[in-house]
Structure 1
Amino acid sequence: MAQSKCLSLSEAITNTVVGYALAVATQFAVFPYFGPQVGILQNLWLGLIFTGVSVMRSYALRRVFDRLTSKR
């Protein structure tokens, strides 16, 4: 069964809110290790870290919403 429009909107909003919270928490955890001056290579590593966190977040939320729709 396809996901309803309302549930798709709820998923997108939840994904955005959780993503923002994780980004802020990740910045607090990661930035002190790099200091205030971040070079190109460090930016690439930061991008990789944030991309990995984002992929894990998206996957976990997708599984949660998939379970919600499969219980109906």
Structure 2
Amino acid sequence: MSLVEAVANVIFGYGVAVGTQMAVFPLFGLHATLAQNMMMGAIFTVLCRDRHKTVYAERMIMRSLWRP
């Protein structure tokens, strides 16, 4: 079930990212097509996933350095 939950979380997050871009970008004078919004959403999703891996690695390094 963890895999199903993780995949659902990524899909939901991607949808929120694309929807947010479509709503917010025009407020700043940025106009992108649906395809462009979807590509940017995909890029942000990959970067976010990679960032989570980095945070985990940082946490493990810090714990190993500061253990009593």
Short-chain TM bin = 0.3 to 0.5
Give the TM-score of the pair, scaled to structure 1.
Answer: 0.45
Give the TM-score of the pair, scaled to structure 2.
Answer: 0.46
Which gives a bigger RCO, structure 1 or 2 (Cα 8 Å, sep 6+)? 1
* Bigger-Rg structure (1/2): 2
